A = this chain, B = another copy of it.
Amino acid sequence: MIAIDWGTSSFRVYRLDGTGCVLEMRSSPQGVLTVENGKFSAVLDTQAGDWIATDDGPVVMSGMIGSRQGWLEVRYAACPAGFEEIAAGMRKVIWGGGTAWIAPGLTCRDEAGIPDVMRGEEVQILGVLHGLGPGTHTICLPGTHSKWVEVTDGRIARFSTHMTGEAFAVFKAHSILGRMMKDDATDITAFEDGVRRPQDAGGLLHHLFGVRARGLFGELTDAASASYLSGMLVGHEIRSAYGKQGQVNLLCNVQLAEIYGRAFAVLGIEASALDPDSVTKGLFRLAAYL
């Protein structure tokens, strides 16, 4: 089969064998937002037309390709959702070169009744479910919009999104805090200081200003300031999202797993990293429901 992870800013296509193992992979920067005039089929033909023509398995895609800006808007499935609910929400696109299925995203509501959404991460999670086994598990997918996901007995029970990475980027590039910052290497001590910060009263909007005030007093160097800000935001995310006992399973690349691992260690929370290449496993298992 052909498995495709088509996000906002990147495109990855995999040819899988009959057991779900990756035979070949191709990637391109042709993310959904870079494709003009909705010419998604042309990108797919160019990137994988030869594979699709010769492979006798299905073509299954996940990610922002199913969003309003993508090929076909596929309605979010509602939590709790496992393989059956997500597979039931898949929709088909047909073009000259073939037929492909697009996975739906997921939605849920928090305690306050406010909606939340994900698109793409749910298939990564499907890919690790088998390894996690029964019971309740917490999965953290850090990033621009970090996702915290609670899985119970093979289904995604609920999740919450935290704008940690995007908040870091906009404060660094566009706020008064960014005036101190360059593209310095991560300063682990400053990052860990930042993680510790939210323990104290005052709230995040106050803690942010402390980055500047510490700089004015020479208590934080310019070179360490971005790492301190990053730690502060990551610490705030973890404290807000981690509500229970138990281990957190990190699902992300090794760089993010390393930095979040530091934050979990500072906060005394047990964490371990899952296989970051889980999206092909999720798409492979989803294809069995077609």
Partner-B contacts on A (CB < 8 A): 107, 110-112, 114-117, 145-146, 160-164, 166-167, 170-171, 173-176, 197, 199-210, 213-214, 216-217, 219, 233, 236-237, 239-241, 243
Given contacts A115-B216, A166-B175, 14 further A-B contacts (CB under 8 A): A107-B217, A111-B201, A116-B209, A116-B213, A161-B213, A166-B176, A167-B205, A201-B240, A203-B240, A204-B204, A204-B240, A205-B237, A205-B240, A206-B240
The distance in angstroms between the C-alpha atoms of A117 and B214, with both chains bound, is 10
- A125 nearest CB across to chain B (Å): 18
Q: Is the CB of B175 within 8 A of A117?
A: no
Provide the residues of chain B in CB contact with A214, threshold 8 Å. 114-115
The distance in angstroms between the C-alpha atoms of A146 and B205, with both chains bound, is 9
Instruction: List the 4 closest A-B pairs by CB distance, nearest first.
Output: A203-B240, A112-B200, A162-B205, A161-B209
Provide the residues of chain B in CB contact with A236, threshold 8 Å. 203-205
Q: Is the CB of A213 within 8 A of B115?
A: yes
Q: Is the CB of A163 within 8 A of B205?
A: yes
- A208 nearest CB across to chain B (Å): 5
- A166 nearest CB across to chain B (Å): 6
The distance in angstroms between the C-alpha atoms of A116 and B236, with both chains bound, is 20
Q: Is the CB of B116 within 8 A of A210?
A: yes
Secondary structure type dominating chain A contacts: helix
Q: Is the CB of B115 within 8 A of A160?
A: no
Sample 26 A-B pairs with CB under 8 A, ordered by A number: A107-B217, A110-B200, A110-B202, A114-B207, A114-B214, A115-B214, A115-B216, A115-B219, A116-B213, A145-B209, A160-B202, A161-B209, A163-B205, A164-B205, A166-B175, A170-B170, A170-B171, A170-B175, A173-B174, A201-B240, A203-B237, A204-B204, A205-B233, A205-B236, A205-B240, A206-B241
Q: Is the CB of B110 within 8 A of A206?
A: yes
For A114, the closest partner residue in chain B by CB is B210
For A161, the closest partner residue in chain B by CB is B209
- A170 nearest CB across to chain B (Å): 5
Q: Is the CB of A243 within 8 A of B201?
A: yes
The distance in angstroms between the C-alpha atoms of A241 and B117, with both chains bound, is 31
Q: Is the CB of B163 within 8 A of A175?
A: yes
Provide the residues of chain B in CB contact with A174, threshold 8 Å. 170, 173-174
Q: Is the CB of B203 within 8 A of A239?
A: yes
Provide the residues of chain B in CB contact with A217, threshold 8 Å. 107, 115
Provide the residues of chain B in CB contact with A203, threshold 8 Å. 162, 204, 236-237, 239-241
